[in-house]
Structure 1
Amino acid sequence: MHIADPGAAPGRKAFSVDQFCSDHGISRATFYNLRQRGKGPTEMKVGTRTLISVEAAAEWRRRMETETSAA
């Protein structure tokens, strides 16, 4: 599955975990499973919130595509 650019929403600089999951078509359980295995996107903490920058989301998609094509 190829996602064109979910980070293209006007003015969006970062995703919450819920936004990231929704925009990338994965469940929260899958997100946390990927994170536990070291395969999740790079995260940042802002106060108590966990956010994923648009750039980190794009880099994660590239990594996932590379891993998929190498398999």
Structure 2
Amino acid sequence: MNWLIDLKNLHLDLYNSHQRNAYIIRNSSNRNLVLDVSNSNTANGTRIIVSPIHYGTNQRFRLQSL
């Protein structure tokens, strides 16, 4: 199940997933909802959705400084 999110009022928190440089990005108003790569797809243009947390690899993000 996916939810539509009002991006204007969206606030996100980073949660360390206990993997090197990997984070789970949670909705600060509902900590059970996180960003999720749709169908665990790795292709360019894959949708990022909001889903209930299950700690899968498709919910872990690596952040790099530019």
TM range (shorter): under 0.3
- TM-score computed with the length of structure 2 as normaliser: 0.28
Pick the structure with more strand per residue: 2
Pick the structure with more helix per residue: 1
